Amino acid sequence: MDIARNPEMADAAPTPHEPPVIRREDYTPFPWILPEVRLRFDLGLEATRVVSTLTVARNAKADPSSTIRLNGDGLQLVSVSIDGEPVNTWSMDGDDLILPLSGDAHEVEIATEIDPGANSQLMGLYASNGMLCTQCEAEGFRRITFFPDRPDVLSTYSVRMEGEKAQFPILLCNGNKVEEGELEDGRHFAEWHDPWPKPSYLFALVAGDLVANSSTFTTMSGRDVELNVWVRDGDLPRTDHAMESLKKSMQWDEETFDREYDLDLYNIVAVSDFNMGAMENKGLNVFNTKYVLADPDTATDADFDAIEGVIAHEYFHNWSGNRVTCRDWFQLSLKEGFTVLRDQLFSQDMQGEAVKRIEDVRILRSAQFPEDSGPLAHPIRPDSYREISNFYTATVYNKGAEVIRMMRSMAGPEAFRAGTDLYFDRHDGEAATCEDFVRAIEDGAGLDLEQFRLWYSQAGTPKVEVAMRYEGETATLSLKQTVPPTPGQPAKHPMPIPLRIALFDRESGEHGGEQLIVLDTAEKELAFEGFAQAPVLSINRGFTAPVAIERTAPREDLVFLAARDDDSFARYEAMQELVVGHLVAALGGGLSDEEREVGQAAIAEAFGAILTDDTLDDSMRGELMMLPSQTYLMEQMLVADPGRIHAEREALKAWLGQHFHSTLETLHDRVSAVPYSLDGPARGARKVKTQALVYLAAGDPESAAERAWEQFDGADNMTDRQGALMVLAGLEGALRTNALLDFYNRYKGNDLVIDKWFTLQAWSTHPQAIEHVKALAKHPDFTLRNPNRVRSLYMAFAGNPHAFHQADGEGYRMLADLILSLDPINPQTAARFVPALGRWRRIEPHRAALMRAELERIAAAENLSRDTYEQVTRSLG
């Protein structure tokens, strides 16, 4: 919903530099409905003319108005007519066009001109390497034509596109193509119609010189759907995986959610200049090339997985986002949280549930948990914003998915499916709210979710304190929850927290069954009878709740669970907890030499069991071998010293590499003999190969460098080559230089692979990583105008704690300089770098002061965008 320029929904009289605050409680329906929209485009890279014809009628569900507000942003108005008559009684309110409308129904025609080539924001209609494409979510359609650019205005669209055939041989839009033909002077046209009402943010247009990987899919009702993946000619051989992923997604959604595709045509277009990963525009998905193009030589196993997951995500939006859309942007998690859950469940079925669940939790903890504990914390359904693009966050997406997953856990898969069926049936063709979704699950699954609604309104990651006492064959589990204060929410209420638990017998290594308990009060005790000795508690199995478990489990219990738990996530969690406990104690300065040796021995016992467990598949083994990230370790401390955390973590890694040197070499040799394929065992072998190499390099850099070079030089796939280069990039010596030069020369001209080259150096543990980043920023292949390239260098750098948190603050200055340089070009991308500086409150005082000073420098800049201004001011507090 566009409420950013609606004075009825904004605080009065904001300063010119300070955008207005938009509040959810101020929502009112738009006074007009627009059942039909007709658009005509005369396409050009430097000048495109747009003629929009809007059928307008009064909205009986809204307060009447004698005017209509049509949002605009940087448009050149050519003409306006109402009911066929030119008018000049319009007025402008900022960028918005205000038209007087006296009757109950009208036809409004507006002509505008835009310059796609000058659109560096990549929002609206813009040029990308000689082609035209659009990105309209959240508020980009107003950069194409004047329109009520809000998600609760649903219209059917008919579009005619005209342009030079030599320049734009392919003309694509939403829906089904109804006509195409030749025009005079080498021009041609195509007409499209989308029969399904949609909001303006789902409009899409692409015009360019493209080729298609084409196929068909037969739906469960027997309809044949034409499928196309459109790319530039040279990229066509790398589109087969995307096509197969689309077909799998369509079949899975029919089988799992009973959702059938509803058009005759489904187009995907890969674009190299794109702010996001992909966009679910109805029938015409526009994708970042990163999530379309793949083959074994240029894409890692993780890339293949990401393409499959993102293709699925955008396809699933056809129902959870398009057929049922959002009433306003505060409801963003309605479509994104639900669709993330759907793509996670799909990927679990495609790749294996155990490893996928761990990967999802790792992402949540690295991105969303820090967001929840910092100055940018917000509920999954926010109460206010200044710039909506800042709320495409891990909280809305990933925590939103976890909240819906909790409903599924409490209801069970079948009852949850009954709830989602009811949701789609009730709200098909509507702009709905998060409350509509919860009510449908409540009614369909037979749950009482009154208290559960707090998950939508309260920010912060709940902490659950866990204690177990044993007496007289009875084990008593004590649970206590707290939801920490967050900006604007100092006090919180207890929320329902579903936790799967199991109690293991120490001797047999078995448990009597898993059970789901719900902590719905501040404190709760549960008693379990019939244990001859104290059991071992496995809790939050499968990560049933997005909470932080705080317990002082005996070290031997964690070793037991890390080696023997039959729940894959719980086994992973025990290993993480064992390492975190040891490192946090070391960082606190409270470990004697003897205690350090005891802690290392316990970790080694669990780690050794993981390396040698023949029952483990290698995909799971690779997950269990990973140490907690430095970012996650920083989250475990009230005030973190990034330098000390890095040193302690690297020291433990080196110790493990030395302690298990021969075992790791044997393991690396075994998995290196597995031939390349995309099946599970081969992918697992490659994951273990890289992890073994990481530890070997930490323990003995010189010998590991030779082994890494052999892997790099002999690799027949990108996963092995990138894994070896990642290790070499962190080492000194000629082999590092040779590998980086070889990689660049081998893939020069392939933008996606060269992005990897930038990232591997910016991420590296090399002591001079910050100098490498400074040099790479001056590289001829680096540009601020391509979001992928900017993220490949600077987002990787900001996520590299040992380089970014240099004690002299140079890393902070570099990032602030980037933000100030990028903001005038692409404010949406610039704003996404601010949170890295916004964590200053959790960093030791010296670095915190330097981080805050850079935020203040950014805030003082003139003409700062709304996107960056909001992120900076919220980060400063």
In Å, what is the CA distance from 130 to each residue of 12, 225, 236, 564, 744?
Answer: 43, 29, 18, 57, 26
Please state, in angstroms and rounded to a whole number, the distance separating the CA atoms of residues 619 and 621.
Answer: 5
Please state, in angstroms and rounded to a whole number, the distance separating the CA atoms of residues 235 and 295.
Answer: 10
Query: Distance between alpha carbon 346 and the CA centroid of its chain, in Å?
Result: 16
Catalytic site residue from 139, 308, 314, 635: 314
Neighbouring-strand partners of residue 98: 69, 91
Q: Where are the beta strands (DSSP E) in 487-599?
A: 497-504, 515-519, 523-529, 536-539, 548-551
* CB 756 within 8 Å of CB 781: no
Q: What is the enclosing helix (H) or strand (E) of 302?
A: helix 301-316
Please state, in angstroms and rounded to a whole number, the distance separating the CA atoms of residues 795 and 805.
Answer: 14
Q: Token pair for residue 266?
A: 């489904």
* CB 606 within 8 Å of CB 575: yes
Residue 47, SS3?
A: coil
* CB 90 within 8 Å of CB 79: no
Q: What is the enclosing helix (H) or strand (E) of 705?
A: helix 701-714
Please state, in angstroms and rounded to a whole number, the distance separating the CA atoms of residues 197 and 154.
Answer: 5
Residues 6+ apart with CB under 8 A from 620: 354, 355, 568, 684
Please state, in angstroms and rounded to a whole number, the distance separating the CA atoms of residues 498 and 524.
Answer: 13
Please state, in angstroms and rounded to a whole number, the distance separating the CA atoms of residues 842 and 439.
Answer: 38
Going by their DSSP bridges, the two strands 155-164 and 32-42 should be labelled as: parallel
Residues 6+ apart with CB under 8 A from 666: none
Max intra-chain CA distance, the chain: 93
Residues 6+ apart with CB under 8 A from 591: 585, 599
* CB 575 within 8 Å of CB 565: no
**Among positive and negative, which fits the CA dihedral 627, 630, 634, 635?**
negative
Please state, in angstroms and rounded to a whole number, the distance separating the CA atoms of residues 566 and 562.
Answer: 10
* CB 377 within 8 Å of CB 520: no
Residue 8 per-residue DSSP state: G
What's the chain's length in residues? Answer: 877
Neighbouring-strand partners of residue 170: 208
- Cis peptide leading into 138, omega within 30 of 0? yes
Query: Distance between alpha carbon 121 and the CA centroid of its chain, in Å?
Result: 20
Active site residue 854: no
Euclidean distance between the first and the last CA atom of the chain, given in angstroms as a whole number: 27
CA neighbor of 19 nearest in space, from 122, 94, 121, 123: 94
CA neighbor of 765 nearest in space, from 822, 704, 830, 821: 704
Please state, in angstroms and rounded to a whole number, the distance separating the CA atoms of residues 460 and 30.
Answer: 33
Q: Which one-letter amino acid corresponds to residue 769?
A: A
Per the listing, tokens 């009402």 go with 197
In Å, what is the CA distance from 831 to each residue of 330, 372, 481, 677, 839?
Answer: 19, 18, 34, 40, 15
Please state, in angstroms and rounded to a whole number, the distance separating the CA atoms of residues 315 and 278.
Answer: 10
CA neighbor of 871 nearest in space, from 826, 836, 835: 835
* CB 559 within 8 Å of CB 605: yes
Q: Which residues are the active-site residues?
A: 314
